[in-house]
Structure 1
Protein backbone atom coordinates (compact mmCIF):
# COMPACT_ATOMS: atom_id res chain seq x y z
CA UNK A 1 0.00 0.00 0.00
CA UNK A 2 1.22 3.50 -0.82
CA UNK A 3 2.31 5.81 1.96
CA UNK A 4 0.22 8.97 2.24
CA UNK A 5 1.08 12.40 3.59
CA UNK A 6 -1.53 15.01 4.45
CA UNK A 7 -0.65 18.70 4.21
CA UNK A 8 -2.29 22.06 3.64
CA UNK A 9 -1.71 25.10 1.50
CA UNK A 10 -3.30 28.50 1.12
CA UNK A 11 -6.01 28.73 -1.51
CA UNK A 12 -7.91 31.77 -2.69
CA UNK A 13 -10.52 31.33 0.07
CA UNK A 14 -8.61 29.65 2.87
CA UNK A 15 -6.58 26.58 3.69
CA UNK A 16 -6.92 23.58 1.38
CA UNK A 17 -6.35 20.00 2.55
CA UNK A 18 -4.02 18.12 0.21
CA UNK A 19 -2.64 14.61 0.13
CA UNK A 20 0.36 12.96 -1.48
CA UNK A 21 0.71 9.21 -2.05
CA UNK A 22 4.13 7.72 -2.76
CA UNK A 23 5.98 4.41 -2.81
CA UNK A 24 9.38 3.29 -1.63
CA UNK A 25 11.15 3.67 -4.98
CA UNK A 26 11.81 6.73 -7.11
CA UNK A 27 8.70 7.72 -9.09
CA UNK A 28 8.80 8.08 -12.86
CA UNK A 29 5.76 10.35 -13.20
CA UNK A 30 3.36 12.58 -11.27
CA UNK A 31 -0.41 12.07 -11.37
CA UNK A 32 -2.72 14.84 -10.16
CA UNK A 33 -6.30 13.87 -9.22
CA UNK A 34 -9.24 16.31 -9.27
CA UNK A 35 -12.16 14.82 -7.32
CA UNK A 36 -15.87 15.24 -7.97
CA UNK A 37 -18.68 17.30 -6.45
CA UNK A 38 -19.49 16.77 -2.78
CA UNK A 39 -16.72 14.25 -2.14
CA UNK A 40 -13.06 14.35 -1.06
CA UNK A 41 -9.63 12.93 -1.87
CA UNK A 42 -9.90 10.17 0.74
CA UNK A 43 -12.23 8.32 -1.62
CA UNK A 44 -9.33 7.82 -4.06
CA UNK A 45 -7.05 5.70 -1.87
CA UNK A 46 -7.45 2.54 -3.96
CA UNK A 47 -6.81 4.36 -7.24
CA UNK A 48 -3.80 6.13 -5.75
CA UNK A 49 -2.38 2.82 -4.55
CA UNK A 50 -2.63 1.39 -8.04
CA UNK A 51 -1.05 4.45 -9.67
CA UNK A 52 1.81 4.42 -7.16
CA UNK A 53 2.37 0.71 -7.79
CA UNK A 54 2.75 1.61 -11.47
CA UNK A 55 5.46 4.18 -10.77
CA UNK A 56 3.62 7.41 -9.97
CA UNK A 57 3.63 9.83 -7.10
CA UNK A 58 0.05 11.08 -6.67
CA UNK A 59 -1.18 14.50 -5.53
CA UNK A 60 -4.77 15.55 -4.82
CA UNK A 61 -6.57 18.29 -2.93
CA UNK A 62 -10.02 18.76 -1.42
CA UNK A 63 -11.53 21.59 -3.46
CA UNK A 64 -12.74 24.66 -1.59
CA UNK A 65 -15.84 23.83 0.45
CA UNK A 66 -15.15 20.09 0.23
CA UNK A 67 -13.76 17.47 2.57
CA UNK A 68 -11.32 18.95 5.07
CA UNK A 69 -10.74 22.21 3.16
CA UNK A 70 -11.96 25.62 4.29
CA UNK A 71 -15.05 27.27 2.85
CA UNK A 72 -18.81 27.00 3.08
CA UNK A 73 -19.77 23.44 2.22
CA UNK A 74 -19.94 22.80 -1.55
CA UNK A 75 -20.09 26.51 -2.31
CA UNK A 76 -18.03 27.34 -5.40
CA UNK A 77 -18.57 30.81 -6.80
CA UNK A 78 -16.15 30.59 -9.70
CA UNK A 79 -14.40 27.52 -11.10
CA UNK A 80 -11.59 29.68 -12.42
CA UNK A 81 -10.60 30.14 -8.77
CA UNK A 82 -10.62 26.35 -8.31
CA UNK A 83 -8.34 26.03 -11.33
CA UNK A 84 -6.03 28.63 -9.75
CA UNK A 85 -5.97 26.62 -6.51
CA UNK A 86 -5.21 23.46 -8.44
CA UNK A 87 -2.35 25.24 -10.18
CA UNK A 88 -0.68 25.63 -6.78
CA UNK A 89 -0.96 21.87 -6.20
CA UNK A 90 0.63 21.26 -9.61
CA UNK A 91 3.45 23.70 -8.92
CA UNK A 92 4.16 22.01 -5.60
CA UNK A 93 4.37 18.61 -7.30
CA UNK A 94 6.74 19.97 -9.94
CA UNK A 95 8.92 21.61 -7.31
CA UNK A 96 9.14 18.39 -5.29
CA UNK A 97 9.68 16.20 -8.37
CA UNK A 98 11.38 18.37 -10.99
CA UNK A 99 11.62 16.97 -14.47
CA UNK A 100 8.93 14.29 -14.10
CA UNK A 101 6.02 14.22 -16.59
CA UNK A 102 2.71 15.29 -15.05
CA UNK A 103 -0.63 13.61 -15.83
CA UNK A 104 -3.96 15.13 -14.78
CA UNK A 105 -6.94 12.89 -13.99
CA UNK A 106 -10.32 14.44 -13.24
CA UNK A 107 -13.55 12.70 -12.29
CA UNK A 108 -17.08 14.13 -12.78
CA UNK A 109 -16.97 17.78 -11.62
CA UNK A 110 -13.24 17.17 -11.34
CA UNK A 111 -13.34 16.32 -15.05
CA UNK A 112 -14.72 19.79 -15.71
CA UNK A 113 -11.96 21.30 -13.58
CA UNK A 114 -9.35 19.17 -15.37
CA UNK A 115 -10.68 20.13 -18.80
CA UNK A 116 -10.55 23.83 -17.98
CA UNK A 117 -7.12 23.39 -16.42
CA UNK A 118 -5.87 21.71 -19.58
CA UNK A 119 -7.28 24.54 -21.69
CA UNK A 120 -5.28 27.00 -19.61
CA UNK A 121 -2.16 24.96 -18.86
CA UNK A 122 -2.19 22.04 -21.27
CA UNK A 123 1.36 22.71 -22.38
CA UNK A 124 2.55 21.76 -18.86
CA UNK A 125 0.86 18.35 -18.92
CA UNK A 126 2.03 15.03 -20.36
CA UNK A 127 -1.49 13.55 -20.56
CA UNK A 128 -5.11 14.11 -19.49
CA UNK A 129 -7.66 11.54 -18.27
CA UNK A 130 -11.34 12.55 -18.09
CA UNK A 131 -13.51 10.18 -16.05
CA UNK A 132 -17.29 10.64 -16.42
CA UNK A 133 -16.64 14.38 -16.92
CA UNK A 134 -19.21 17.16 -16.54
CA UNK A 135 -18.49 18.73 -19.93
CA UNK A 136 -20.61 19.37 -23.00
CA UNK A 137 -24.18 19.21 -21.70
CA UNK A 138 -25.38 18.40 -18.21
CA UNK A 139 -29.15 18.87 -18.13
CA UNK A 140 -29.33 18.53 -14.33
CA UNK A 141 -27.91 22.05 -13.89
CA UNK A 142 -30.67 23.80 -15.82
CA UNK A 143 -33.34 21.59 -14.28
CA UNK A 144 -32.24 22.46 -10.74
CA UNK A 145 -31.82 26.17 -11.45
CA UNK A 146 -35.41 26.28 -12.73
CA UNK A 147 -36.68 25.71 -9.18
CA UNK A 148 -37.36 28.73 -6.98
CA UNK A 149 -35.81 26.73 -4.15
CA UNK A 150 -33.25 24.02 -4.87
CA UNK A 151 -34.81 20.73 -3.73
CA UNK A 152 -33.14 19.08 -0.76
CA UNK A 153 -33.15 15.62 -2.28
CA UNK A 154 -30.26 13.28 -1.39
CA UNK A 155 -28.18 11.76 -4.14
CA UNK A 156 -29.50 8.43 -5.38
CA UNK A 157 -26.58 6.31 -4.19
CA UNK A 158 -27.49 3.52 -6.62
CA UNK A 159 -26.28 5.76 -9.48
CA UNK A 160 -22.69 5.56 -8.22
CA UNK A 161 -21.92 1.88 -8.75
CA UNK A 162 -23.49 -1.53 -9.22
CA UNK A 163 -21.74 -2.50 -5.98
CA UNK A 164 -24.21 -1.66 -3.16
CA UNK A 165 -21.36 -1.30 -0.67
CA UNK A 166 -20.07 1.75 -2.55
CA UNK A 167 -23.32 3.65 -2.10
CA UNK A 168 -23.66 2.58 1.53
CA UNK A 169 -20.13 3.77 2.34
CA UNK A 170 -20.78 7.06 0.51
CA UNK A 171 -24.01 7.64 2.46
CA UNK A 172 -22.21 7.04 5.77
CA UNK A 173 -19.17 9.21 4.98
CA UNK A 174 -19.20 12.37 7.16
CA UNK A 175 -16.82 14.19 4.80
CA UNK A 176 -19.23 13.75 1.86
CA UNK A 177 -21.86 16.46 1.40
CA UNK A 178 -25.36 15.00 1.69
CA UNK A 179 -27.38 18.21 1.39
CA UNK A 180 -28.76 20.16 -1.59
CA UNK A 181 -26.80 22.00 -4.27
CA UNK A 182 -26.10 25.67 -3.64
CA UNK A 183 -27.56 27.93 -6.33
CA UNK A 184 -24.28 29.82 -6.70
CA UNK A 185 -22.45 26.54 -7.32
CA UNK A 186 -24.93 25.50 -9.99
CA UNK A 187 -24.56 28.89 -11.67
CA UNK A 188 -20.77 28.54 -11.53
CA UNK A 189 -21.03 25.04 -13.02
CA UNK A 190 -23.17 26.40 -15.86
CA UNK A 191 -20.66 29.16 -16.58
CA UNK A 192 -17.71 26.77 -16.47
CA UNK A 193 -19.35 24.22 -18.77
CA UNK A 194 -19.95 27.08 -21.22
CA UNK A 195 -16.37 28.33 -20.80
CA UNK A 196 -14.97 24.91 -21.67
CA UNK A 197 -17.34 24.55 -24.62
CA UNK A 198 -16.39 27.97 -25.98
CA UNK A 199 -12.74 27.69 -25.06
CA UNK A 200 -9.88 26.35 -27.14
CA UNK A 201 -9.28 22.76 -28.12
CA UNK A 202 -6.42 21.19 -26.24
CA UNK A 203 -2.86 21.18 -27.58
CA UNK A 204 -2.60 18.73 -30.48
CA UNK A 205 0.26 16.89 -28.85
CA UNK A 206 -1.58 16.28 -25.56
CA UNK A 207 -2.75 12.65 -25.20
CA UNK A 208 -6.34 12.56 -23.90
CA UNK A 209 -8.28 9.59 -22.54
CA UNK A 210 -12.03 9.66 -21.94
CA UNK A 211 -13.67 6.94 -19.84
CA UNK A 212 -17.39 6.74 -19.13
CA UNK A 213 -19.99 4.24 -17.97
CA UNK A 214 -22.67 3.59 -20.56
CA UNK A 215 -25.28 3.28 -17.78
CA UNK A 216 -24.24 6.50 -16.02
CA UNK A 217 -27.52 8.13 -14.97
CA UNK A 218 -25.82 10.86 -12.92
CA UNK A 219 -23.71 12.34 -15.75
CA UNK A 220 -25.14 10.72 -18.88
CA UNK A 221 -22.60 9.75 -21.49
CA UNK A 222 -24.38 11.43 -24.41
CA UNK A 223 -24.20 14.84 -22.74
CA UNK A 224 -20.47 14.54 -22.10
CA UNK A 225 -19.64 13.34 -25.60
CA UNK A 226 -20.08 16.74 -27.24
CA UNK A 227 -17.71 18.36 -24.76
CA UNK A 228 -15.11 15.66 -25.22
CA UNK A 229 -15.33 15.93 -29.01
CA UNK A 230 -14.63 19.65 -28.71
CA UNK A 231 -11.59 19.09 -26.51
CA UNK A 232 -9.97 16.05 -28.07
CA UNK A 233 -7.03 16.12 -30.42
CA UNK A 234 -5.42 13.47 -32.62
CA UNK A 235 -3.93 11.58 -29.65
CA UNK A 236 -7.24 10.43 -28.20
CA UNK A 237 -8.40 7.21 -26.52
CA UNK A 238 -12.02 6.47 -25.66
CA UNK A 239 -13.16 3.68 -23.36
CA UNK A 240 -16.81 3.21 -22.50
CA UNK A 241 -18.05 0.39 -20.29
CA UNK A 242 -21.43 -1.32 -20.80
CA UNK A 243 -23.67 -1.39 -17.71
CA UNK A 244 -21.14 0.65 -15.67
CA UNK A 245 -22.46 3.59 -13.67
CA UNK A 246 -20.87 6.86 -12.57
CA UNK A 247 -17.90 5.99 -10.38
CA UNK A 248 -15.83 3.79 -12.65
CA UNK A 249 -13.00 3.43 -10.14
CA UNK A 250 -15.52 2.02 -7.64
CA UNK A 251 -17.44 -0.15 -10.09
CA UNK A 252 -17.63 -3.94 -10.29
CA UNK A 253 -15.15 -3.75 -13.18
CA UNK A 254 -12.90 -1.23 -11.41
CA UNK A 255 -9.78 -3.37 -11.88
CA UNK A 256 -10.26 -3.46 -15.66
CA UNK A 257 -10.90 0.30 -15.76
CA UNK A 258 -7.82 1.04 -13.67
CA UNK A 259 -5.72 -1.26 -15.86
CA UNK A 260 -6.89 0.65 -18.95
CA UNK A 261 -6.04 3.99 -17.35
CA UNK A 262 -2.64 2.97 -16.02
CA UNK A 263 -1.71 1.51 -19.41
CA UNK A 264 -2.72 4.76 -21.14
CA UNK A 265 -0.74 6.85 -18.65
CA UNK A 266 2.31 4.63 -18.99
CA UNK A 267 2.25 4.80 -22.77
CA UNK A 268 1.48 8.53 -22.89
CA UNK A 269 3.80 9.82 -20.18
CA UNK A 270 6.46 7.15 -19.82
Structure 2
Protein backbone atom coordinates (compact mmCIF):
# COMPACT_ATOMS: atom_id res chain seq x y z
CA UNK A 1 0.00 0.00 0.00
CA UNK A 2 1.36 3.40 -0.99
CA UNK A 3 2.03 5.51 2.10
CA UNK A 4 4.45 8.01 3.63
CA UNK A 5 5.74 8.81 7.10
CA UNK A 6 6.75 12.32 8.14
CA UNK A 7 8.17 14.16 11.11
CA UNK A 8 6.66 17.64 11.23
CA UNK A 9 8.03 20.47 13.35
CA UNK A 10 5.24 22.40 15.05
CA UNK A 11 5.33 26.14 15.74
CA UNK A 12 6.77 25.47 19.23
CA UNK A 13 9.52 23.23 17.71
CA UNK A 14 7.95 19.99 18.95
CA UNK A 15 8.27 17.07 16.50
CA UNK A 16 5.05 15.26 15.57
CA UNK A 17 4.79 11.97 13.69
CA UNK A 18 2.45 12.05 10.70
CA UNK A 19 1.25 9.18 8.53
CA UNK A 20 -0.17 9.49 5.02
CA UNK A 21 -2.07 6.80 3.11
CA UNK A 22 -2.24 7.70 -0.58
CA UNK A 23 -2.94 4.54 -2.58
CA UNK A 24 -5.34 6.56 -4.73
CA UNK A 25 -5.56 7.07 -8.49
CA UNK A 26 -8.04 9.95 -8.74
CA UNK A 27 -8.38 11.57 -5.30
CA UNK A 28 -11.64 13.33 -4.50
CA UNK A 29 -11.10 14.34 -0.86
CA UNK A 30 -8.87 14.09 2.20
CA UNK A 31 -9.64 12.75 5.66
CA UNK A 32 -7.45 13.93 8.54
CA UNK A 33 -7.67 11.59 11.54
CA UNK A 34 -7.24 12.53 15.21
CA UNK A 35 -6.86 9.34 17.27
CA UNK A 36 -8.02 8.75 20.82
CA UNK A 37 -6.40 8.57 24.25
CA UNK A 38 -3.73 5.95 24.91
CA UNK A 39 -3.59 4.68 21.33
CA UNK A 40 -1.90 5.71 18.06
CA UNK A 41 -2.54 6.40 14.40
CA UNK A 42 -1.41 3.02 13.02
CA UNK A 43 -4.60 1.51 14.46
CA UNK A 44 -6.52 3.36 11.72
CA UNK A 45 -4.89 1.48 8.85
CA UNK A 46 -8.11 -0.41 8.05
CA UNK A 47 -10.17 2.75 7.71
CA UNK A 48 -7.41 4.42 5.68
CA UNK A 49 -7.26 1.46 3.30
CA UNK A 50 -11.04 1.53 2.85
CA UNK A 51 -11.03 5.27 2.14
CA UNK A 52 -8.11 4.92 -0.28
CA UNK A 53 -10.14 2.30 -2.14
CA UNK A 54 -12.82 4.99 -2.47
CA UNK A 55 -10.35 7.61 -3.76
CA UNK A 56 -9.86 9.49 -0.49
CA UNK A 57 -6.36 10.33 0.77
CA UNK A 58 -5.85 9.91 4.53
CA UNK A 59 -3.49 11.72 6.92
CA UNK A 60 -3.18 11.18 10.65
CA UNK A 61 -0.69 12.01 13.39
CA UNK A 62 0.37 10.58 16.73
CA UNK A 63 -0.55 13.20 19.33
CA UNK A 64 1.89 14.53 21.88
CA UNK A 65 2.49 11.93 24.55
CA UNK A 66 1.31 9.15 22.22
CA UNK A 67 2.78 6.66 19.77
CA UNK A 68 5.91 7.64 17.86
CA UNK A 69 5.56 11.29 18.87
CA UNK A 70 5.58 10.43 22.57
CA UNK A 71 8.30 7.84 22.12
CA UNK A 72 10.70 10.25 20.41
CA UNK A 73 10.19 12.91 23.09
CA UNK A 74 10.07 10.34 25.93
CA UNK A 75 6.76 11.84 27.07
CA UNK A 76 4.27 8.98 26.90
CA UNK A 77 1.05 10.06 28.61
CA UNK A 78 2.13 13.71 28.92
CA UNK A 79 0.79 16.41 26.58
CA UNK A 80 2.85 19.29 27.95
CA UNK A 81 3.83 21.30 31.01
CA UNK A 82 0.78 23.56 30.61
CA UNK A 83 -2.06 24.07 28.14
CA UNK A 84 -1.29 20.64 26.69
CA UNK A 85 -4.80 20.09 25.35
CA UNK A 86 -4.91 23.39 23.47
CA UNK A 87 -1.38 22.84 22.16
CA UNK A 88 -2.32 19.39 20.86
CA UNK A 89 -5.43 20.83 19.19
CA UNK A 90 -3.22 23.51 17.65
CA UNK A 91 -1.10 20.71 16.19
CA UNK A 92 -4.17 19.49 14.30
CA UNK A 93 -4.63 22.96 12.80
CA UNK A 94 -0.98 23.14 11.76
CA UNK A 95 -1.19 19.67 10.23
CA UNK A 96 -4.23 20.80 8.24
CA UNK A 97 -2.11 23.67 6.91
CA UNK A 98 0.60 21.18 5.92
CA UNK A 99 -2.01 19.05 4.14
CA UNK A 100 -3.41 22.09 2.37
CA UNK A 101 0.07 22.96 1.07
CA UNK A 102 0.43 19.42 -0.29
CA UNK A 103 -3.13 19.22 -1.60
CA UNK A 104 -4.35 22.74 -2.47
CA UNK A 105 -7.56 21.75 -4.25
CA UNK A 106 -9.14 18.85 -2.35
CA UNK A 107 -11.73 19.22 0.43
CA UNK A 108 -10.46 18.20 3.88
CA UNK A 109 -12.67 16.38 6.39
CA UNK A 110 -11.50 16.06 9.99
CA UNK A 111 -12.31 12.79 11.80
CA UNK A 112 -11.76 12.59 15.55
CA UNK A 113 -12.29 9.54 17.74
CA UNK A 114 -12.84 9.79 21.51
CA UNK A 115 -10.17 12.16 22.90
CA UNK A 116 -9.45 12.96 19.26
CA UNK A 117 -13.06 14.12 18.92
CA UNK A 118 -12.59 16.49 21.87
CA UNK A 119 -9.36 17.82 20.35
CA UNK A 120 -11.11 18.22 17.00
CA UNK A 121 -13.98 20.12 18.57
CA UNK A 122 -11.47 22.47 20.22
CA UNK A 123 -9.69 22.93 16.89
CA UNK A 124 -12.96 23.99 15.24
CA UNK A 125 -13.26 26.84 17.73
CA UNK A 126 -10.00 28.30 16.39
CA UNK A 127 -12.21 29.51 13.51
CA UNK A 128 -10.15 27.78 10.84
CA UNK A 129 -11.82 27.78 7.43
CA UNK A 130 -9.78 25.07 5.72
CA UNK A 131 -12.11 22.22 6.68
CA UNK A 132 -15.10 21.08 4.63
CA UNK A 133 -16.61 18.97 7.42
CA UNK A 134 -15.91 17.18 10.69
CA UNK A 135 -16.78 13.72 12.03
CA UNK A 136 -16.85 12.98 15.76
CA UNK A 137 -16.89 9.36 16.95
CA UNK A 138 -17.40 8.37 20.58
CA UNK A 139 -17.72 11.95 21.80
CA UNK A 140 -19.76 13.32 24.68
CA UNK A 141 -20.89 16.23 26.84
CA UNK A 142 -19.65 16.11 30.44
CA UNK A 143 -21.42 17.66 33.45
CA UNK A 144 -19.50 20.88 34.27
CA UNK A 145 -19.50 20.09 38.00
CA UNK A 146 -17.69 16.80 37.35
CA UNK A 147 -15.11 18.61 35.23
CA UNK A 148 -14.48 21.14 38.02
CA UNK A 149 -14.12 18.31 40.53
CA UNK A 150 -11.77 16.48 38.17
CA UNK A 151 -9.58 19.56 37.75
CA UNK A 152 -9.46 20.06 41.51
CA UNK A 153 -8.39 16.46 42.11
CA UNK A 154 -5.85 16.65 39.28
CA UNK A 155 -4.33 19.82 40.77
CA UNK A 156 -4.16 18.09 44.14
CA UNK A 157 -2.40 15.07 42.68
CA UNK A 158 0.02 17.31 40.77
CA UNK A 159 0.87 19.20 43.98
CA UNK A 160 1.52 15.96 45.88
CA UNK A 161 3.01 13.69 43.20
CA UNK A 162 4.14 15.93 40.34
CA UNK A 163 2.93 16.61 36.80
CA UNK A 164 4.50 13.63 35.06
CA UNK A 165 3.62 10.99 37.65
CA UNK A 166 1.28 8.29 36.27
CA UNK A 167 -2.25 9.17 37.40
CA UNK A 168 -3.33 5.90 39.01
CA UNK A 169 -6.11 7.51 41.06
CA UNK A 170 -7.45 9.78 38.30
CA UNK A 171 -7.38 6.98 35.75
CA UNK A 172 -9.36 4.71 38.07
CA UNK A 173 -11.80 7.52 38.84
CA UNK A 174 -12.39 8.12 35.13
CA UNK A 175 -12.62 4.54 33.86
CA UNK A 176 -13.73 2.49 36.89
CA UNK A 177 -17.32 2.01 35.69
CA UNK A 178 -16.73 1.69 31.95
CA UNK A 179 -17.22 -2.09 32.00
CA UNK A 180 -20.36 -2.02 34.14
CA UNK A 181 -22.66 -2.91 31.21
CA UNK A 182 -20.20 -5.31 29.60
CA UNK A 183 -19.43 -8.97 30.21
CA UNK A 184 -15.84 -8.14 31.01
CA UNK A 185 -12.88 -10.49 30.72
CA UNK A 186 -10.38 -7.62 30.67
CA UNK A 187 -10.24 -3.96 31.74
CA UNK A 188 -10.75 -2.92 28.11
CA UNK A 189 -13.77 -4.92 26.93
CA UNK A 190 -15.79 -1.70 26.80
CA UNK A 191 -13.73 -0.70 23.74
CA UNK A 192 -15.09 -3.31 21.31
CA UNK A 193 -17.13 -6.50 21.18
CA UNK A 194 -14.38 -7.98 18.99
CA UNK A 195 -12.17 -9.94 21.40
CA UNK A 196 -9.26 -9.95 18.95
CA UNK A 197 -9.27 -6.14 18.86
CA UNK A 198 -9.23 -5.99 22.66
CA UNK A 199 -6.40 -8.55 22.80
CA UNK A 200 -4.34 -6.57 20.27
CA UNK A 201 -4.95 -3.35 22.19
CA UNK A 202 -3.72 -4.90 25.44
CA UNK A 203 -0.61 -6.31 23.74
CA UNK A 204 0.24 -3.06 21.92
CA UNK A 205 2.96 -1.11 23.82
CA UNK A 206 1.52 2.15 22.47
CA UNK A 207 -1.96 1.41 23.84
CA UNK A 208 -3.59 1.35 27.26
CA UNK A 209 -0.77 3.10 29.10
CA UNK A 210 -1.36 5.15 32.23
CA UNK A 211 -1.43 8.90 31.47
CA UNK A 212 0.08 11.50 33.77
CA UNK A 213 -1.57 13.72 36.37
CA UNK A 214 -1.04 16.74 34.10
CA UNK A 215 -2.65 14.87 31.19
CA UNK A 216 -5.89 14.48 33.11
CA UNK A 217 -5.85 18.12 34.19
CA UNK A 218 -5.38 19.17 30.57
CA UNK A 219 -8.14 16.82 29.42
CA UNK A 220 -10.68 18.08 31.96
CA UNK A 221 -9.77 21.70 31.17
CA UNK A 222 -10.02 21.08 27.42
CA UNK A 223 -13.43 19.43 27.64
CA UNK A 224 -14.59 22.40 29.70
CA UNK A 225 -13.53 24.74 26.91
CA UNK A 226 -15.31 22.85 24.14
CA UNK A 227 -18.50 23.06 26.22
CA UNK A 228 -18.12 26.82 26.71
CA UNK A 229 -20.43 28.94 24.53
CA UNK A 230 -17.70 31.55 24.03
CA UNK A 231 -15.56 29.05 22.14
CA UNK A 232 -18.34 27.10 20.43
CA UNK A 233 -19.81 30.27 18.93
CA UNK A 234 -16.57 30.79 16.97
CA UNK A 235 -17.18 27.60 14.94
CA UNK A 236 -18.23 28.05 11.31
CA UNK A 237 -22.04 27.82 11.47
CA UNK A 238 -22.22 26.28 7.99
CA UNK A 239 -19.69 23.50 8.63
CA UNK A 240 -21.21 20.01 8.19
CA UNK A 241 -20.81 17.89 11.33
CA UNK A 242 -21.38 14.15 11.76
CA UNK A 243 -21.70 12.58 15.23
CA UNK A 244 -21.47 8.78 15.59
CA UNK A 245 -21.58 6.52 18.63
CA UNK A 246 -22.69 3.12 19.83
CA UNK A 247 -25.45 2.72 22.39
CA UNK A 248 -23.06 0.59 24.48
CA UNK A 249 -20.33 3.26 24.56
CA UNK A 250 -19.63 4.48 28.11
CA UNK A 251 -17.63 7.49 26.88
CA UNK A 252 -20.71 8.89 25.13
CA UNK A 253 -22.77 7.90 28.19
CA UNK A 254 -24.41 5.17 26.11
CA UNK A 255 -25.27 7.77 23.43
CA UNK A 256 -26.90 10.29 25.80
CA UNK A 257 -23.73 12.38 26.14
CA UNK A 258 -23.40 12.56 22.38
CA UNK A 259 -27.00 13.73 22.05
CA UNK A 260 -26.30 16.44 24.65
CA UNK A 261 -23.30 17.57 22.58
CA UNK A 262 -25.49 17.76 19.47
CA UNK A 263 -28.08 19.79 21.40
CA UNK A 264 -25.34 22.11 22.72
CA UNK A 265 -24.06 22.88 19.22
CA UNK A 266 -27.54 23.44 17.85
CA UNK A 267 -28.19 25.94 20.63
CA UNK A 268 -25.18 28.02 19.55
CA UNK A 269 -26.38 28.08 15.95
CA UNK A 270 -24.82 25.05 14.24
CA UNK A 271 -27.62 23.46 12.23
CA UNK A 272 -25.78 21.35 9.65
CA UNK A 273 -25.55 18.37 12.00
CA UNK A 274 -26.17 14.68 11.35
CA UNK A 275 -25.94 11.98 14.00
CA UNK A 276 -26.37 8.23 14.17
CA UNK A 277 -26.42 5.73 17.04
CA UNK A 278 -25.36 2.17 16.25
CA UNK A 279 -27.26 -0.43 18.26
CA UNK A 280 -25.31 -2.81 20.51
CA UNK A 281 -21.95 -1.23 19.56
CA UNK A 282 -19.24 -0.15 21.98
CA UNK A 283 -16.73 2.70 22.07
CA UNK A 284 -14.44 1.94 19.14
CA UNK A 285 -16.94 1.91 16.29
CA UNK A 286 -14.09 1.71 13.78
CA UNK A 287 -12.99 -1.55 15.42
CA UNK A 288 -16.38 -3.17 15.92
CA UNK A 289 -17.40 -6.39 14.19
CA UNK A 290 -19.52 -4.39 11.72
CA UNK A 291 -16.72 -1.90 11.01
CA UNK A 292 -17.26 -2.14 7.24
CA UNK A 293 -20.78 -0.79 7.78
CA UNK A 294 -19.33 2.08 9.83
CA UNK A 295 -16.71 2.80 7.16
CA UNK A 296 -19.42 2.86 4.49
CA UNK A 297 -21.61 5.19 6.54
CA UNK A 298 -18.71 7.65 6.91
CA UNK A 299 -17.82 7.46 3.22
CA UNK A 300 -21.43 7.98 2.14
CA UNK A 301 -21.70 11.10 4.30
CA UNK A 302 -18.44 12.49 2.90
CA UNK A 303 -19.50 11.69 -0.67
CA UNK A 304 -22.83 13.46 -0.19
CA UNK A 305 -21.06 16.61 0.97
CA UNK A 306 -18.52 16.46 -1.85
CA UNK A 307 -21.42 16.24 -4.31
CA UNK A 308 -23.15 19.15 -2.58
CA UNK A 309 -19.99 21.29 -2.81
CA UNK A 310 -19.56 20.46 -6.49
CA UNK A 311 -23.19 21.35 -7.19
CA UNK A 312 -22.82 24.67 -5.35
CA UNK A 313 -19.67 25.54 -7.32
CA UNK A 314 -21.42 24.88 -10.62
CA UNK A 315 -24.29 27.26 -9.86
TM-score, scaled relative to structure 2: 0.78
Tell me how many residue pairs correspond in the alignment.
Answer: 268
Q: Select the residue among 208, 232, 235 that pairs with 1:200.
A: 232
Conserved in 2, the CA contact under 8 Å of 1:30 and 1:56?
yes
Cα distance in 2, alignment partners of residues 144 and 230 from structure 1? 22
> Mapping of 1:124-203 within 5 angstroms?
124-137=130-143, 142=149, 146=153, 150-151=168-169, 156-179=187-210, 181-198=211-228, 199-201=231-233, 202-203=235-236
Cα distance in 2, alignment partners of residues 150 and 82 from structure 1? 23
Cα distance change, pair 142–261 in 1 and its aligned pair in 2 (3 A): farther
Match of 1:29 in 2: 29
Cα distance change, pair 200–217 in 1 and its aligned pair in 2 (3 A): closer
SS in 2 for 1:94: helix
Unaligned runs of 5+ in 2: 158-166, 176-185, 308-315
Cα distance change, pair 42–122 in 1 and its aligned pair in 2 (3 A): same
Structural RMSD (CA): 2.3
Kindly indicate whether residue 66 of structure 2 is the aligned counterpart of residue 73 of structure 1: no
TM-score, scaled relative to structure 1: 0.90
Conserved in 2, the CA contact under 8 Å of 1:103 and 1:269?
no
Moved more, 46-55 or 116-125: 116-125
Match of 1:228 in 2: 262
Unaligned runs of 5+ in 1: none
1:26-82 CA-partner distances (Å, limit 9, x unpaired): 311111000000110000000111111122111100001100004411112421111
Match of 1:54 in 2: 54
Deviation at 1:134, TM superposition (A): 4.6
Largest Rg, 1 or 2: 2
Cα distance in 2, alignment partners of residues 196 and 140 from structure 1? 12
